[in-house]
Structure 1
């Protein structure tokens, strides 16, 4: 014991001496902690899944891969943060008239295109004119929308938008990338489609086009350089390179071969392998899509869908978590409502409905749908059986989901027949004509940060609109209608909260899940952040702040 104590004394004295020497080496003053500070430099290469078509924001509606590159090259008047709140981008400020029909915008001073030319309000008007005459290249609803808007140039840096009536989601339509009139002016969109500009773009974003990567006569990549004229903090990473691959498996192999440092999209089939890579950081974000089951509230053959007790029982009897875990590889989030979680409009206190077969059976019984007699597998009420047909998109995943739902509801003694339908036919014929009893659908809200549930749930849209369920609830409709014409974000959030409470109580449709987007980047790339997505290109929202090199500074 005495020997042990002597050793401890020696260790203590040695430590004390080292501490004294270290303190003596200090020049005086407080001890400084050293932290890495982002520095400019480095080359980042990412694998994109798909192929290049045109690097032009007016022509990229149908190709997400082009939008991802364009996100770094072009800018819009506004952009949206991870919660879907609009913030100025090229605009310095904007104001909304009290009646909600006039929007005034002022551009940031001294904005420059990548070629050094000034950005003006005329560039914005020119781009909108191309969208209005977009033909097959621009979705019809976008073209029609802009045909109703008057755009007035007030000066080189100021412009005004006049709407025929108040429309609070208007800012959603101003996030498109602006095109340079001094390069493309005087041309129609049909002419622009074949312009060399689409492979040598000039924008205002944090990165500028450098050159194409061509191998064996085929475009295999795009090289971008940091934009020294960028109106915000110039990017830290000096060069951004994109390379194109047919699928995530090929992209992963390119990473293993040290050709790329990031994988633009990690599909579920390669996710386990990606997670096993020690130097790959994996990021996930909720996608702007909601999978759900719609009920036809006005079909007399399935009048039981008008009974919310039946709808709620079917929700309780659906094992949504099993769908997410087993069929979707945990790459989805169970949906508790029709508005995307993580956004300014989402109400966090909505009740979560767990899978509970016994509770579902009890609720059906309370609604008068008694358990069938021996030999009869279907519940009935007043001679009407709980039996209907569920349409689903003709894909393997949707078939599997529909079969699980069929089994879940079969356990409640509800008879469900399945019918596969091509997706275009399902939407444009069966839903549009209200020729369905129940339907498994995916509601795609890509590039729509403003939730605006009005088209899908308002009474006015039950005939001829997108309220395919024909849900008829006056309270819900009033909340949606007021939120559409109210500019104040706080008041709109309150109205949408009330709508979500009504929706949760009434359960007009069954919300199933929101899929998630998975992205992987080498851990050597710092500063990467990814929140909820409104488009896959949103993963580059903070790309100008990413860094690969750092200096050590005191703090």
Structure 2
């Protein structure tokens, strides 16, 4: 009885000890917390399709290249890269002193395995990597990649391919169904710690990261069901930044006022290489008829969408589908003059005339019917986490009703929308895609991607477009490639495989009262790879803030990394950054200490009493 009593009392001491009491508060204080749009479908690097998955994966795993803040692609795992034989032979010298999270060294053998594994299984979302590769082999610390042709965007493609450990993945014989949720082992700056499905993903800092350990203890990706929820959580200090969820357009004015009043808050506007569009299958009638697609273009007021939904913080969609930001780059990839409103300005009369000419007659309820009896009534899917897309869908519904097309807007969770998109289980969807290089177009427009699981969700097939996509991929000369890309945009604009909507200038709310060192760029949101490896704790709330302009602007871009970090001579654990504990932690420590002392005194008294009783 005495031993049992002592055990229970000692257990109470542990439970009520200061370390136990403050553990949850310590995590919330020390871990940087950012939002996620939705839960992850997978941690399988080769099957990644959601931007949320990429956000987590890029911290857990490394790549051969990373995109710098200025948009360029810089070598990462290789400390030296040579490109020979007219751009068809790439030699990567893999740096030493890189380790997997299980302690095993990352070597050229892992890189060789990853590339060959990608080629072997021909993953649909990684066709920009495996399609141009002819052969991969290794000699010592060098990995050789022989391409079928010079590939202008090979470094950009490799920035999306995460290197995996051979000693784990060589045993995975069915990678198409492997989820990789059980303790993913990478080599990145953060280590997988835990995940609660539908709630959060938690990563801890890698103290032995080859580029230097992060200065923060870890990152928590907290799942929010909407932009509104993530916005409110940031304002209230529950999270440190909005990630993959931007400020709802209707709240922008309020957000600007809150930033003026609260020195802990900041807004960063980015002009992303992003294309938001309306998609459908060209295999299905009447979407297969170009005139029907033209009628839909005339029936959508993009200017109204930009002004009413985004308050001017968006660019009108281009029929060439390439975002205008590519026109600001030195290469000038963007072909101006293909904006939807310039070629197909909003005109309901014109839309009705086209539909009349096609023989699509209105029924008793005003909804048109095709000559073969097909009723023009469609379900338009939108993700519930995007209030802007929901609003756009409602506007399209109202405009289309005026030309005899009935639209039923269906709001579903984001995972379901993406699943239906990739599995071709939809009639119409409003969706978006990020393009880091014009070659990413390959996934959106090439006929090889018009398969289940591919990103060519319109099932668009045009041999001329395929040829131009392949030519630009093989062309290294900037001037020649620009001419091909401009011709390509003109051809896509003629075919109208997608209905372009907007290229959004997204505003992200973030906080500077807990950590500093956010790395800002016109191309990135604040919660990006460079921020997470640069952030450090602050000891006081800043008193000075930069008031954002009430008109659409972008935050000035700091100098961006142009070279990989040097390998530390000897990896060391990050030093303590917080010199003064927060008040809530001090209180918990004091209370916990008092309770522990009282319990120890009680234990001693009980032991003395029982011993005297025995004697």
Aligned equivalents of 2:423, 2:32: Cα separation in 1: 41
SS at match of 2:140: coil
Residue 99 of structure 2 corresponds to which residue in structure 1? 113
Q: Indicate yes or no: 2:178 matched with 1:178.
A: no
Shift, 1:511, TM fit: 0.7
How many angstroms apart in 2 are the aligned matches of 1:165 and 1:223? 41
Distance 1:256 1:490 in 2: 47
Tell me the distance in 2 between the aligned counterparts of 1:219 and 1:395.
19
Distance 1:187 1:530, change over 3 A: same
Q: Separation in 2 of the partners of 1:467 and 1:197?
A: 32
- Contact persistence 2:450–2:458 (CA under 8 A): yes
Deviation of the 1:498 alpha carbon: 2.2
Decide which of 476, 479, 501 is 1:512's aligned counterpart: 501
> CA offset at residue 286 of structure 1?
5.0
Match of 1:243 among 220, 234, 237: 220
| C-alpha separation in 1, matches of 2:398 and 2:420 | 25
Q: Does 1:87 align with 2:78?
A: no
5 Å-filtered alignment, 1:338-353, equals 338-343=321-326, 346-347=333-334, 349-353=336-340
Query: Whole-Å Cα distance in 1 between the matches of residues 449 and 489 of structure 2?
Result: 18
Q: Does 1:222 align with 2:211?
A: no
User: CA offset at residue 77 of structure 1?
Assistant: 0.8
Greater per-residue strand proportion: 1
**TM-score, L = length of structure 1:** 0.64
Structure 2 residue runs of 5 or longer lacking an equivalent are 1-28, 411-415, 540-615
**2-side partners of 1:467 and 1:246: how far apart?**
28
Change (3 A) 1:98 1:495: farther
Displacement of 1:124 after TM fit? Answer: 1.0
Tell me whether 1:528 sits opposite 2:510 in the alignment. no
Query: What corresponds to 2:557 in structure 1?
Result: none
Is the CA contact 2:110–2:165 (under 8 Å) kept in the aligned structure 1? yes
TM, length-normalised to structure 2: 0.59
- In structure 1, the partner of 2:12 is none
Q: Deviation per CA, 1:374-412, whole angstroms, max 9, x where unpaired?
A: 9999999xx99999455522666667534422433555x
* Contact residue 350 and residue 504 of structure 1 kept, 8 A: no
| Conserved? CA contact 1:379–1:385, under 8 Å | no
1:401 pairs, out of 392, 416, 420, with 392
Evaluate the alpha carbon distance shift between residue 295 and residue 387 of structure 1 in structure 2; reply closer, same or farther with a 3 A threshold.
Answer: farther
**Does the C-alpha gap of structure 1 residues 332 and 105 become closer, same or farther in structure 2, counting only changes over 3 Å?**
same
Structure 1 residues 350 and 150, CA gap change in structure 2 (3 angstroms): same
Tell me the C-alpha RMSD between the 2 structures.
5.6
Change (3 A) 1:125 1:195: farther
Deviation at 1:161, TM superposition (A): 1.9
User: 1:114-193 counterparts in 2 under 5 A?
Assistant: 119-128=106-115, 140-142=124-126, 146=130, 150-156=135-141, 158-163=142-147, 168-175=152-159, 176-180=161-165, 184=168, 187-188=171-172
* Alignment: residue pair count: 477
* Equivalent in 471, 474, 481 of residue 482 of structure 1: 471
* Distance in 1 separating the partners of 2:450 and 2:232: 49
Q: In 1, are the aligned partners of 2:316 and 2:341 still within 8 Å (CA)?
A: no
Q: Decide whether aligned partners of structure 1 residues 537 and 61 sit closer, same or farther in structure 2, where only a CA change above 3 A counts.
A: farther
Partner of 1:35: none
With over 3 angstroms needed to count, the CA separation of the structure-2 counterparts of 1:152 and 1:445, relative to structure 1, is same
* Structure 1 residue 322, shift from structure 2 partner: 3.0
1:116-161 Cα offsets, whole Å, 9 max, x none, are: 8754311212444665788xxx9555499759753200222x1112
Cα distance between partner residues in 2 of 1:44 and 1:366: 57
CA distance in 1: counterparts of 2:420 and 2:510, whole angstroms: 39
Contact 1:77–1:89 under 8 Å retained in 2? yes
Matches within 5 A, 1:73-472: 73-81=60-68, 85-96=72-83, 98=85, 101-108=88-95, 110-113=96-99, 119-128=106-115, 140-142=124-126, 146=130, 150-156=135-141, 158-163=142-147, 168-175=152-159, 176-180=161-165, 184=168, 187-188=171-172, 198=184, 201=185, 203=187, 205=188, 207-209=189-191, 212=193, 221-224=202-205, 229-230=210-211, 234=212, 238-247=215-224, 260-266=239-245, 268=247, 275=256, 276-277=258-259, 278=262, 279-285=264-270, 290-293=275-278, 305-307=289-291, 314-327=296-309, 333-336=315-318, 337-343=320-326, 346-347=333-334, 349-354=336-341, 361=349, 388-393=376-381, 401-409=392-400, 411=402, 414-418=403-407, 423=417, 428-429=423-424, 439-442=428-431, 444-445=433-434, 449-454=437-442, 456-457=444-445
